[in-house]
Amino acid sequence: MNQYERHISRLREELRQRSSDEKAESSRRYFPDGINCIGANAADIKSIISGFHSDSHSENAELTAVEVLAIAEHLLLTAQCHEENLIAFGLLNKLVKKNYDDDLLLRFEYWLEHYASNWAQVDDLCIKTIYQFLLSRPHLIVKTQHWATSEVSWCRRASNVVWVKFIKRGMGKSTYYLDKQLAFKNCDLLIDDKDEFVQKSIGWLLKVTSQHHENDVIEYIENNATKMTRPTMRYAIEKMDAATRQRLLSLK
């Protein structure tokens, strides 16, 4: 057994101890197409990741960032359930701001195309791990746009989700603003996508964009209403006033 397998075996044992059939059944409600889960919730996953990095595990404290990345990738390669993917992603959360080089973004793309298997894994990786990574590398934020042309639907979803926290984001003493035209261009690229979770990501990106550029989003919806699915539009207009929501929905 190599060093990675020892760490992974310990993580799996902790996951097993925290899991239950009741929690597995609760999780399955959110995945109508099915999910292979052991039955651990978000709090369990967070606790396992925190424990991995805690001082109580002296062996883990000596691991380098590169070694933790190797453990994460080995866990992804051999993952047996949904929760193991989430743990693998989360192992890097506290490390990505100050460690690794820009090429880690390429690995994230690979993970999305080869390991992500549901919307929750995509969102977890984007909103937590990649978000922390990009916070200290804002020059890379727009570099994810080509994910919209991926053959893998989960990566296409990620091209929108990875931006939702960067429409307007404080970074130290400055504020980062994602070019709203880039957001609309991404929506243009994906508006005819047949995958429902890609469609939902369009609605999510438009909804967040509307909180800072509402008139622009309204105009975009008016110009593209016939192309948008009704669920996508409903999600996009969720934060708008009732009269505006009603008027835009009437365009469908």
- The tens place of each residue's pLDDT in the chain, 252 residues long, gives 567 899 999 999 999 999 999 999 999 999 988 899 999 999 999 999 999 998 565 677 789 999 999 999 999 999 999 999 999 999 999 999 999 999 999 999 999 999 999 999 999 999 999 999 999 999 999 999 999 999 999 999 999 999 999 999 999 899 999 999 999 999 999 999 999 999 999 999 999 999 999 999 999 999 999 999 999 999 999 999 999 999 999 997
| Buried-state track 131-160, b at ≥16 Cβ within 10 A, e below 16 | bbbbbebeeebeebbebbebeebbbbbbbb
The pLDDT value given to residue 61: 75
Q: CA separation (Å) from 224 to 166, 190, 218, 249, 251?
A: 23, 12, 10, 12, 10
Round to whole Å and give the CA distance between 244 and 200: 20
The residues pairing with 170 across neighbouring beta strands, listed in sequence order, are 175
CB count in 10 Å sphere of residue 161:
26
Return the pLDDT at 3: 75
The phi, psi pair for 116, rounded to 5°, reads: -65, 135
Neighbours of 28 (CB within 10 A): 15
pLDDT on residue 146: 97
Non-local CB neighbours of 54 within 8 Å, separated by 6+ positions: 60
Tokens 């469908």 correspond to 252
The pLDDT of residue 55 is 57
Q: What is the pLDDT of residue 57?
A: 59
